[in-house]
Amino acid sequence: MRNTFIYDGYGEPTRAQRVTQRSLKLTRRLLIHLLLIGGSLVMLAPFLWMITTALKPDKDIYTWPPRILPSEYHFENFGLAMEQAPFAQYFLNSLILASFHVIFNVALCSMAGYGFARYQFRGRRPLFLLVLAKMMVPAQVTLIPVFVLMRMFPLAGDNDILGQGGTGFVNTYAGLVLPGAVTAFGIFLFRQFFLNLPVELEDAARIDGCSEFRIYWNIMLPLCKPAAVTLGIFSFEAGWNSFLWPLVITQSNEMRTIQLGLTVFRGENQTQWAFLMAGTTLAIIPMIIIFIVGQRYFIKGISTSGITG
């Protein structure tokens, strides 16, 4: 006998079954939303605290127990925090660093990832393993060799051809940007995405007489837009949040980046809470914008149109 309420997939659903179906669907949606709202709150709670702290007067921060909401709202904290150091310059420097990371990483890593994923050539596997192995070396131990390399870069910054005499790329934008311009993660990411694309596309293009670069550029890369966007977001963020490398490679205030700038609020014996939180809040805004814009590309149907059929 057929179940009165639950559609079993045979024949036409009855009216009662249609109602059940719809309400089941609604309940399911509701549950998903509840789950996601709960999850989002867990994710957001610390940020709400961060923003309210940014608005608090000092006496609120140092009350015990801590206050969640400020007793009075000090929006001027944002402005005051930015006056504690040349933050406009820091923002600009970070923007330069992060943007170049995005451009270099997306361009060069997609090419390399494409090469690894779509071609057979001798040395492919060992080279790729090398890329993976690179991710495994902690950055702390290559810090000094990379610094020495930047300092002795031939012909840079008054250096002679032997890398002597000047300061190389130390305290320059090139020095800031270069070491992170290509990341093993980026190559790895693109390789994994290019692996998934059907081979027929390439072959069809070859029949049409496309050059290899045009196949990559006009056909394959557009299909990997989500991967490109992902790497773009990650690269921007890595550049924007990097700390140790900017710390050692920059030597003057004019070259410092935002994360270094924020440390002025965290002294050895005191923390300027409101300013630290105001500064941190302002510092994440560019990344939130980039994410909101970028995540539009995570939508079904865009990337795959035209693959099959």
Partner 1 sequence: MKGDEAMLKENPAYSPPMVVQSNKKSKGFDLERKKRRAAWLFILPAMLHFMLFTSLPVFAALGLSLTNFSILREVQWVGLDNYGRILKDDVFWTVVGNTLQYAFWTVLLTVTLALGVAILLDQKLRARTWYRTAFYLPHVTSTAAISVLWIWLYSPQFGLFNAVVGWFGVPKQNWLANPGLAMYAIIIMSVWMSVGTYMVLYLAGLQNIPPELYDAAKVDGAARWALFRYITVPLLKPTTFLVLVTCLIKAFQVFDQIYIMTGGGPGYATSTVAHQIYKQAFENLNLGYASAMAFLLCLLIFGITMINNRLFNWDNVNA
Partner 2 sequence: MTTSLKKFRYFTLLLLAGALVLGACGDTTPTTAPATTAAPTTAAGTTGAATTAAVATTVASTTAAGGGVKSNVTLKMITPIFPDADGKKALEDQLLTKFKQETGITVQVDRVPSYGELPAKLTTAFAGGLAPDVFNIGVGWVGDYASQLLPLDGLLDTADFYESILATGKDNGKLYGIPYIMDTRLIVYRKDFFKEVGLDPEKPPTSWEELRDYAIKLTKRNADGTLDRAGLDVIQSGVQTPEQTRQHWFRFLWQNGGELFSPDKKKAIFNSDKGIEALQYYTDLIRKDKVTDYGFTTGVPNQSLIAAGKAGMAMVNARTMSLEIVKDPSLKDKIGIVPAFKKATQGEFVGGSYWVIAKTTKYPEEAKKLIQFLSAKENAMVGIKYRKAIPPLKSLATDPYVQEDAILKASLDNLKIGRAEGGPNGWLQIRDLFDPVLTEALVGKKSPKEALDGLAAKADEILAKAGK
- Which residues, at least 6 apart from 51, have a Cβ–Cβ distance to it below 8 Å? 277, 281
Distance, in Å, from the CA atom of 175 to the CA atom of 245, rounded to the nearest integer, reads: 9
Report if residue 60 touches partner 1, rule: CB under 8 A: no
154 touches, from partner 2, partner 1, none (C-beta below 5 to 8 Å by class) = partner 2
- Show the binding pattern over residues 117-146: x = contacts partner 1 (CB under 8 A), - = does not: -xxxx--x--x--xxxxxxxxx-xxxxxxx
- Show the binding pattern over residues 157-196: x = contacts partner 1 (CB under 8 A), - = does not: ---------------------xx-xx-xx-xxx--xx-xx
Please tell me whether the peptide bond between 179 and the residue prior to it is cis, using omega within 30 degrees of 0: no
Distance, in Å, from the CA atom of 111 to the CA atom of 113, rounded to the nearest integer, reads: 5
Report if residue 58 touches partner 1, rule: CB under 8 A: no
Nearer to partner 1, 123 or 252 (CB): 123
* Shortest distance in whole angstroms from residue 287 CB to partner 1: 4
- Show the binding pattern over residues 267-296: x = contacts partner 2 (CB under 8 A), - = does not: xxxxx-x-----------------------
By CB under 8 A, the residues from 87 to 126 that bind partner 2 are none
Question: Considering only residues 144, 204, 293, 302, which one is a binding residue for partner 2 as defined by CB under 8 A?
Answer: 144
Question: Considering only residues 148, 195, 302, 307, which one is a binding residue for partner 2 as defined by CB under 8 A?
Answer: 148
Long-range contacts at 169-172 (CB < 8 A, ≥ 24 apart): 169/249, 170/249, 170/251, 171/249, 171/250, 171/251, 171/252, 171/255, 172/255
Report if residue 139 touches partner 2, rule: CB under 8 A: no
By CB under 8 A, the residues from 65 to 84 that bind partner 1 are 65-66
Distance, in Å, from the CA atom of 78 to the CA atom of 202, rounded to the nearest integer, reads: 53
Nearest to 189 by CA among 226, 241, 219: 226
Q: How many CB atoms lie within 10 A of CB 91?
A: 18
